[in-house]
């Protein structure tokens, strides 16, 4: 199993992440091209948001494997995350999410931690449950490709590896 580290996201890493392409149905997770993200000052294309909310995830060899966003809400930190497309589906999810979660608990010890996941993404739901998240709500909201049904999952501790 890989040992992941969480580091401040560098601009060059943001550019690389924006170029990742996912196969359907996961392609809705792709970002806009880097030049558009910068021009619109959205997500990690905005240097202030990148510095305040985004991190890069590296493996034990220092290779970029993914990213996470720690999005502040009222009393809650919402985690958004993504793994490099060629690394998905290989059993790396639990250590990857655990590293992101550990950093969230360190940064925001008094905050509730949650995330959203599309209800059809059973692979991710299983990983999140194994890391101590539980489904607390299900609702419909917009996605880049229309509307989708989402679960809100809240970290309740006691991960099961």
- Report pLDDT digits (tens) over 46-66: 999 999 999 999 999 999 999
Phi, psi of 36 (to 5 degrees): -70, -40
Quote the pLDDT of residue 159: 52
Look at residues 16, 125, 104, 31 and name the one whose alpha carbon lies nearest to residue 64. Answer: 16
Longest dimension (CA), the chain: 42
pLDDT tens column, 135-155: 999 999 998 788 999 999 999
pTM of the model: 0.92
Domains of the chain, earliest start first = 5-155 (3.40.630.30)
Contacts of 92 (CB under 8 A, 6+ apart): 1, 2, 65, 83
Output Rg (C-alpha) for the chain, integer angstroms: 15
Quote the pLDDT of residue 27: 87
Give every residue of the chain whose pLDDT is below 50, as ranges. 160-161
Look at residues 127, 122, 120 and name the one whose alpha carbon lies nearest to residue 145. Answer: 120
Tokens of 8: 């401040």
């Amino acid at each position: 199993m890989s040992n992941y580290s969480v580091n401040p996201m560098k601009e060059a890493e943001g550019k690389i992440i924006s170029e990742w392409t996912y196969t359907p149905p996961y392609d809705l997770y792709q970002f806009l091209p880097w030049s558009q993200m910068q021009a619109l000052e959205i997500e990690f294309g905005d240097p202030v948001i990148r510095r305040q909310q985004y991190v890069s995830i590296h493996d034990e060899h220092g290779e970029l494997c993914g990213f996470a966003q720690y999005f502040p809400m009222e009393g809650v930190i919402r985690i958004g995350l993504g793994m490099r497309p060629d690394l998905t589906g290989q059993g790396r999810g639990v250590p990857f999410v655990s590293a992101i979660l550990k950093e969230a608990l360190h940064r925001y010890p008094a905050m509730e931690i949650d995330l959203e996941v599309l209800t059809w993404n059973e692979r991710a739901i299983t990983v999140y449950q194994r890391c101590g998240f539980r489904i607390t709500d299900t609702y419909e909201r917009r996605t880049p490709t229309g509307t989708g049904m989402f679960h809100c999952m809240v970290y309740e501790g006691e991960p099961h590896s």
